[in-house]
Amino acid sequence: MRKEDCFYLGKIVSLHGYKGEVLAKLDTDSPQEYENMESVLVALGSDLVPFFMQQSRLHKSNLLRIRFEEVSTEPEASRLLGCELYLPLELLPKLTGNRFYYHEVIGFSLQDAVHGPVGVIRTVNDQGPQALFVAEKDGKELLIPVTDDFIVKVDREGQTVHIRTPEGLIDLYLGQ
């Protein structure tokens, strides 16, 4: 399976005990949905390797305590530290309304309530304190905060995100 066909679930951040258990920090708003999984894909080098779980359960807020079937010692578990965890895209829970996954809106048009079409979403930058739509229109890059205050409607069928931005934001990029 390729990373492009998967979503990032989290990362193994520490060992738990000496019998091979690990703790994974999950990158999700609903960690409880990932308790009691049967398997997960572990990024080892450039490969995604399926690991079957003997047990997985929540450990504090968004940490998942995992006991893999083939990992039973501390040295075996240590090799997995820092490894990223993935699941196939089809396992993502479906979102409705104005809730969306970032990968889902790539290629959608941005339609501002005042300015009309303001670009196509190329990516979502979530590396800073505020996630941003990175859109392009006529060779110009626009950065629009991903916030409920700006998002009016997500039209999946029409592949459009309708937004209402503050006065001057779009003008800043398009020079209108």
CATH code of the domain containing 26: 2.40.30.60
Identity at 124, one-letter amino acid code: V
| Domain end position, chosen among 38, 62, 91 | 91
Structural domain contains residue 97: no
Residues 66, 127 within the same domain: no
Residues 62, 138 within the same domain: no
State residue 60's pLDDT score: 78
**105: helix, strand or coil:** helix
Segments of the chain assigned E as strands: 6-16, 21-26, 39-44, 47-59, 63-68, 84-88, 109-112, 116-125, 132-137, 140-145, 151-155, 160-163
Taking a C-beta distance cutoff of 8 angstroms, is the pair 25, 11 a contact?
Answer: yes
Mean pLDDT per block of 10 residues along the chain (176 residues) reads 89 93 90 89 94 91 90 95 94 88 92 94 92 92 95 96 94 81
Structural domain contains residue 80: yes
Residues 67, 142 within the same domain: no
pTM, two decimal places: 0.70
| Domain end position, chosen among 91, 111, 144 | 91
Identity at 37, one-letter amino acid code: M
Residues 115, 64 within the same domain: no
Residues 72, 109 within the same domain: no
State residue 155's pLDDT score: 96
Q: Which domain holds residue 107?
A: 102-174
Residues 84, 151 within the same domain: no
State residue 176's pLDDT score: 61
| Domain end position, chosen among 31, 61, 91 | 91
Residues 6+ apart with CB under 8 A from 134: 121, 122, 123, 124, 125, 141, 142, 143
Q: Compute the distance between CA of residue 62 and CA of residue 49 in angstroms, rounded to an integer.
A: 23
Structural domain contains residue 96: no
Helix (H), strand (E) counts: the chain: 2, 12
R_g (Cα) of the chain, nearest Å: 20
Residues 71, 16 within the same domain: yes
Identity at 97, one-letter amino acid code: G
Residues 37, 79 within the same domain: yes
If one counts the domains in the chain, the total is 2
**69: helix, strand or coil:** coil
Taking a C-beta distance cutoff of 8 angstroms, is the pair 27, 102 a contact?
Answer: no
State residue 88's pLDDT score: 94
Residues 38, 75 within the same domain: yes
Residues 120, 83 within the same domain: no
